[in-house]
Amino acid sequence: MKDEITISELAQLMQVSVHQIRYFEEKGVLHPAYTGENQYRMYGMDEVYRLAHILLFRKMGLSVQVIKECLSHLTAEQITPIFRQALRDTEAEIQRLQDTKLFIEKLLDEKEQIPKQVSQATEGTYAIVQREEFPLSLWFEMQEAESLSAKHLIQHRNNISNLFEADIHYVHNDSGIVGMYTKAEGGQTDLTLPSGSYLSRTLFVENEEGVAATAQEFYAYAEERGYMCSGPLIIIEKSYLSLFTPDQLHYELLSYVSNPEVGE
């Protein structure tokens, strides 16, 4: 009985595909021990160990070219920093996955808080909510008469990352300028929303024009209930919640209320 095994047997042993082994051979990082008279590629223990090393390198995310260098001429001292970089890359990927997990949890949590009939201007869509102090970072400013456009996004694309995962805060004041803010993350804080009571309304609309009309209703509701709203009107766009309703955008309207007990 021959000591060598076929490519199919090698694939079974190492739990990879024959195609993957052939790919490594095409790239010059693996070669059979010999090719038999029947043109079968045959592999011995040296090839088994070499393939094991290749697969371990691949597990660390190394490219075939780097693997070829590691197996051909690099010393242990030269390989060590490559492994350290692989560790840093792995840690970065773990952080990315953790961030994704937090985003999905946030998405599902906010979905549960959406009123069932948010598109209707009913009393049930309003609430007094308690919010902690919230720091904001300015993205850019635009005229109040303007609507957010694709042109705005491309002009200011370098000022924000993960655009459609973030809550975009439209801050309206009496200046006629709307400030577009996102949550401040370890950098400069340009505006801080104070902790306290806020009148809140959530809604789904097909476009921004629907938000403008609702803002007027928002203040009319506050006046009718005797709430004293102070500070700017904050309109929070949560576009990621449109994953549940693809044809509609989700917004929350907020205004600081100095006498929340009036409407109770």
DSSP state of 95: H
Tell me the CA end-to-end span of the chain in Å, nearest whole number: 89
DSSP state of 164: G
Domain end among 74, 93, 108: 74
Residues spanned by the domain of 147: 123-263
pTM of the model: 0.73
Structural domain contains residue 246: yes
Is there a single domain that holds both residue 143 and residue 228? Answer: yes
Cα(29)–Cα(49) distance, rounded to whole angstroms? 12
pLDDT at residue 122, rounded to an integer: 43
Q: Coil, helix or strand for 189?
A: coil
Cα(40)–Cα(38) distance, rounded to whole angstroms? 5
Task: Tell me the mean pLDDT in the region 45-66.
Answer: 96
Q: What is the pLDDT of residues 41-50, one digit of tens each?
A: 999 999 999 9
- Our CA angle for 122, 222, 114, nearest 5°, is 40
pLDDT at residue 119, rounded to an integer: 44
Instruction: Say if strands 249-257 and 229-237 run parallel, antiparallel, or are unpaired.
Output: antiparallel
Domain containing 220 — which CATH number?
3.20.80.10
Tokens for 80, please give them. Answer: 């060590």
Is there a single domain that holds both residue 134 and residue 250? Answer: yes
Is there a single domain that holds both residue 135 and residue 245? Answer: yes
Structural domain contains residue 163: yes
Domain containing 52 — which CATH number?
1.10.1660.10
Which residues are bridge partners to 203 per DSSP?
251
Is there a single domain that holds both residue 66 and residue 187? Answer: no
Q: Residue 2: what residue type?
A: K
Domain end among 74, 93, 114: 74
How many structural domains does the chain have?
A: 2
pLDDT at residue 117, rounded to an integer: 47
Structural domain contains residue 43: yes
pLDDT band at 228 (very low <50, low <70, confident <90, very high): very high
Q: Residue 145: what residue type?
A: A
pLDDT at residue 116, rounded to an integer: 56
Q: Residue 178: what residue type?
A: V
Is there a single domain that holds both residue 147 and residue 59? Answer: no
Q: What is the pLDDT of residues 8-34, one digit of tens each?
A: 999 999 999 999 999 999 999 999 999
Is there a single domain that holds both residue 52 and residue 176? Answer: no
